[in-house]
Chain A
Amino acid sequence: MTDNQLIDDALAGRSAAFGQLVLKYQDRLFTALAHAIGCVEEARDVAQDAFVQAFVKLETFQRQSSFYTWLYRIAFNAAVSRNRKKRPNTSLDERRETVGLEPTDPRDDGPTQELERRERVTQIRTALDALPSDYRTVLVLREIDGCDYDQISEILDVPVGTVRSRLHRARLQLKDQLKAVVQMD
């Protein structure tokens, strides 16, 4: 079923249809939020808030954008309005101990490659975390979530030109941060 059909069903009172929407987008949204916020627990809470608010506000969704874009916009606002500093950020590497979340990676490397990959991931995460949140968010939306400029513009409520320039600056800054992190290691 398409998103619109599921939305219609949910609006008709069949909440299970909305459950399917949740199932469809939960991991994508969660991953994007986890990387954008830098804290899996917070990302999970924000994702839940976003889905809840989407459910509550579903009748106001005018379908002029994709449901996911609308959902991410809600999540973005929820993340902003939320006190992100209420709890100490749990690093993504500590996710296993905290919430039992398991990152998924389809690749099946050997031990050495796995170690190198982990190290590389750690470096990227460190560099990403060092970016201002605006830059981090736009990078995550583009590179990890795969949103195009129009979607990013809609989610962040900024012009497309701003998205382009911000994305470029974010990349340059991430490049510098990554160099610094690699040198530190």
Chain B
Amino acid sequence: MNQPFDEELISAYLDDELSAEQRRDVERLLAERPEAQRLLDELRGLRESLQSLPTFKLQEDFGAAVLRRAEREMLRTGPAASTAPSAESVTPVTNAAATPIPAVQPASQVERNWRRPAAWSLLAVAAALALMFVERNRRDSGDVAMVKVKQENADAKSGTPALSPARPETSDAVAAKKLDRADESAGRELLLKDGSARSRGNDAPAAVAAPAPKEGTAEQNRIAGQPVPMTNQFIVANTSVPPPGSVPPAAAIVPPTTTAAAKPADPAMIAGAQFAIENRLPARGPATPAPVAGNATGDSQNALAQQVLAGGGAGGYALPSQLQQGVVDMTPLIRANDFQRARALVSEYEIARREVTNERDAAAQVSRRLQNRALELQTAQRITPAASKAGPAAEKQQSPALATDADQLLIVYCDVTPEAIERGWTTILNREQIADLTTPYGAAGMTAVNGLLEKAPTDQRKEQAGVADEEFVYVVADSKQLEGTLDALRRQSEFFLNVRVEPAPSDSQQQVWRQRYSRGEETSLSSGYTVKSGPVATPSPAPAGPALGAVAASPAPTAAPKSAGEEVGERKQAGNKPTAEIAKSESAASSAPPLNGIPQLREAEVEKQLFGGGNALSGLGNSGGSAAAGPVPAASQSAVESAYGYYRQQQNFAPLSRSQRLSRADALAPSIADAAGNGLNRGVNPATTTPAAPLAASAPPAAAANPAVPTQDRADNQRADKSKVAGGGGAGVQLGVAAKQVDADAQFAGAAGQNLNWVWNELPPDYHEALFIFRVVPPPKMDGKPTK
């Protein structure tokens, strides 16, 4: 019986990684043991297979892109602050601690290299400011003066008299005084290096600069951790003549400990300083490496700007000498009235500045990506490993569950065209720098989402929903990102036919809802948790967006609180309600008394407005068939197209600004609070924020003005229920539902913004979890057949 041989030796033999002795042993083995030779042949074949895989080429400009990014990276982090995998770990380090790495390039050289873009930007700012000053001087007597103020400590060191030796004054006060004098002397004042001043004629340019300090001195001190000495500063201050007796214009330099609060710094100078800082600091603190100075975050940029202007201070920044050098470079040109060359110089600086600006923007994007990455990681930690395949029960038990508080989850329902997911959605996510967390976690992510909603299996859900397809996208984003996303969804109405935002109702909120229903305050659940049928005591109940579908029959008053998923499931199942039940519900709805003095529109009127007189939904509903199969009757196709066009028209509403929404939110605070108490009326549609024109034309004016008109919503939802009961529909029904959705949302246009704000106000301020549920709706084709 043959002894088993070490197969690894065969593998190593193939790789020619054996010693001579081992090699001889293996060759003997191969000669004696056919199975060893067979294994070797198999491994050799495997190698050939792998080596037959294609190779890939990158674009030729890849290297240039790498260098650009590398410069940005160095600009952002500095040469020694990279977050990259430790390079030291790559190369075996021996005596790393004892033996310093021989730096081929001196540190100062590296520092100077990576500082170069920022210096250019500062120079550009200085040049632009100087030229602006000169140009303005040429036009009139001069509104802007550029003066150089010597700091008191520098004066003391040099022995030159301070500008106001008699009493201590802050530098901005000194500057203001000088500017007053400058104004008195025809708008310009030239302060020489020693602090003396001499007037210049009106026709002479007035930008003057002291000789640049020794380059690198301040920087070297800063790098070495030494206090940065105060340096001469340039001030650009508005010297518009102040009213008599008024406080002089704020000077640019504001020492951080003295008059920063009392006298704001000059905006232009602050902007320049901030610009300089932004090119060296991340936009926000924790996600990006600390700046070279090491003690500033994005939140402290304003303070740091003032420190910069003050010539260092705690931030360790001083106005780089390049800034002064730039003015020096321009000064002779300006003095010689050679504005053409000066302008050319400015152009050069401006180009450099733009490059740096682009890099800054890129750095900001990196920062946002890092923040999203942090959120991803945070979320990933909250997702348990993937579910097993041991059956539904085991899957449910082991399914990864997002540790999401349903109160914090925003759900966005959206009817979309097939192109939306492929084309529009990715672009929106990328633009908003939002990471799609559904895709990364694949099946686990989807299971988590499903577990989050506790929905029925996907197939069943689709069948119940009567939609052709559904896409779930789970994201974590901050409010601005989400708002940008929703705005983008609204703007791209050709892709995103309908947008509706809801928070997932939590158990506690559902409990409140059921308790209210059990008390008889709600008479119907047929249109989901958005309906209040019958007279409502409160003058202005919170508006509600339409529900996804109908809600199941009334739950028992004593029923245990249900989860969000059960809630959704109930609404889905309502699509199977008998038609008679729906009809009864519709009848009750249409005969309900007016709300808030606004008469309800009858079903026929609504459909007439929606579809131009044709009973589109009835026809489509009778056509039967599932959404994914069965042609839409030709007679109904025009109605489909009409609905589609109508919907498109409704998407053109002018959006309310955030301030407008907030204002309205304040006005409707009681209603919103009522809604919060009920756990009802969560539907919003940020896509439609003003009333729909067709309905506004037929409905009483108050209907358009008052956002709280749930009657129409109910009718629409019931009509949607009817369409689902009749067979689920096809594209036409979906479009009809979409049109209905817009119709209802138009009625509650003003509510959308407030509800959205309300939702977000309820959510944590830093970020939100949002689940986008896209229901794919094939748009009608020109030949009258729906596309799929």
Q: Give the B-binding residues of A (Cβ under 8 A).
A: 8, 11-13, 15, 18-20, 22-23, 26-27, 30-31, 34-35, 40, 43-44, 47-49, 51-57, 59-65, 69-70, 73-74, 76-78, 81, 83, 85-88, 92, 95, 100-105, 117, 120-121, 124-125, 128, 139-140, 142-144, 148-149, 154, 157, 164-165, 167-168, 171-172, 174-175, 178
Contacts and interface: CB of A to CB of B under 8 A. Distances in A.
A99 to B, nearest CB: 9
Given A53-B73, A61-B87, A168-B12, 5 more contacts: A23-B63, A55-B66, A55-B70, A101-B57, A120-B52
Contacts of B58: 26-27, 30, 44, 47, 101
A88 B437 CA distance: 10
Interface in B39-69: 42-43, 46-47, 49-59, 62-67, 69
Nearest to B12: A164
Contacts of B91: 60-65, 70
A165 B74 CA distance: 40
Interface string B405-448: 00000000000000000000000000000011001111000000
Given A124-B49, A171-B11, A40 B56 contact: yes
A57 B67 CA distance: 13
B559 interface: no
18 contacts: A51-B70, A60-B88, A62-B91, A64-B91, A74-B90, A81-B85, A101-B56, A103-B54, A104-B55, A104-B57, A121-B52, A143-B46, A144-B50, A148-B15, A149-B12, A164-B12, A167-B15, A175-B42
A172 B65 CA distance: 40
Nearest to B373: A83
A35 B701 CA distance: 65
Contacts of B15: 142, 148-149, 167
Contact of B11 (A23, A87, A168): A168
Contacts of A55: 66-67, 70, 73-74
Contacts of B92: 64-65, 154
Closest 9 pairs between A and B when the two form their complex, measured CB to CB:
A77-B85, A103-B54, A53-B84, A85-B440, A57-B87, A11-B104, A168-B11, A22-B63, A55-B70
B397 to A, nearest CB: 24
A95 B56 contact: yes
A100 B60 CA distance: 12
B172 interface: no
B386 interface: no
A27 B56 contact: yes
B90 A73 contact: yes
A13 B116 CA distance: 12
A13 B84 contact: no
Contacts of A149: 12, 15, 17
A34 B55 CA distance: 9
B51 A53 contact: no
B442 A85 contact: yes
Given A56-B74, A101-B58, A144 B87 contact: no
Interface string B597-610: 00000000000000
A171 B82 contact: no
A105 B54 contact: yes
A133 B665 CA distance: 52
Max chain A Cβ within 10 angstroms of own Cβ: one of B17, B55, B57, B101:
B55
B85 A56 contact: no
B172 to A, nearest CB: 40
A119 to B, nearest CB: 12
Contacts of A95: 56
Interface residues of B, number: 61
Nearest to B47: A143
Contacts, number: 206
A12 B85 contact: no
Given A61-B91, A103-B55, A143 B50 contact: yes
Given A11-B105, A104-B54, A57 B82 contact: yes
B484 interface: no
Nearest to A70: B90
Given A48-B66, A85-B442, A171-B43, A27 B55 contact: yes
B51 A144 contact: yes
Interface in B72-121: 73-74, 77, 79, 82, 84-93, 101, 103-105, 109-110, 113
Contacts of A167: 11, 15
A52 B70 contact: yes
A60 B12 CA distance: 34
Contacts of B71: 15
B376 interface: yes
B184 interface: no
Given A59-B104, A139-B50, A171-B11, A30 B56 contact: yes
B203 interface: no
B419 to A, nearest CB: 16
Contacts of B93: 62
A70 B88 CA distance: 10
Contact of B46 (A31, A78, A171): A171
Contacts of B52: 117, 120-121, 124
A182 to B, nearest CB: 11
B110 A59 contact: yes
A31 B59 CA distance: 13
A125 B77 CA distance: 39
